Amino acid sequence: MNPNPPSLYERLGGEDMIASLIPAFYVRVLADPELGPFFKDTSIEKLHAMQREFFVMATGGPIQYSGRPLAHAHHGRGITKHHYALFTGHLVETLLDMGVTQEETDEVIDRINTSINEITGVSY
Ligand code: HEM
């Protein structure tokens, strides 16, 4: 058995894949009439940079996320589980459209879901 199986990050295609995933994903998020308004005062360039780091870290890649704790970045914005589900739904569609398998897409969502309470404020 291989003692060092490739990380999810490596299986997805590493830095290059994540660099194309983030903008494609946010095109969908921003076009969603229920999600777009949350980002009206946000620097999309900075958000892309932070999300790139976060996704690399969350999938086991070699980058340390340098942004704010997720609870701080999301608290007080009124983000509900419904918004969260729309957001991850767009992520699933983007990953599948890019040719990621259903199994690996599920793995990404499992990793991301560990942050749900920080995003929707349930832990406050
Ligand atoms: C698990 C899902 C999510 C993850 C991993 C995530 C991650 C992030 C990250 C890494 C940032 C950058 C933080 C920083 O600038 O320091 C951010 C910012 C932001 N997120 Fe999320 N997010 C998620 C879900 C959502 C949802 C569902 C919404 C709204 C419907 C949302 C709205 C925002 C907004 C508005 C900002 C920008 C805050 C600002 O302008 O300062 N996020 N998110």
CATH code for position 33: 1.10.490.10
Give yes or no for residue 80 CB within 6 A of ligand 1: no
Residue 5 belongs to a domain: no
Residue 99 belongs to a domain: yes
Give yes or no for residue 67 CB within 6 A of ligand 1: yes
- pLDDT on residue 124: 44
CB atoms within 10 A of CB 41: 6
Per-residue pLDDT tens digits for 46-56? 999 999 999 99
Tally of domains within the chain: 1
Q: Please report the atom of ligand 1 found closest to the CA of residue 46.
A: 15
Question: In angstroms, what is the span from residue 3 Cα to ligand 1's centroid?
Answer: 35
Residue 7 belongs to a domain: no
Residue 81 belongs to a domain: yes
Give yes or no for residue 63 CB within 6 A of ligand 1: no
Residue 61 belongs to a domain: yes
- For 97, the domain range is 12-120
Per-residue pLDDT tens digits for 12-26? 999 999 999 999 999
User: Position of tokens 């199994």?
Assistant: 103
Residue 4 belongs to a domain: no
Contacts of 117 (CB under 8 A, 6+ apart): 123
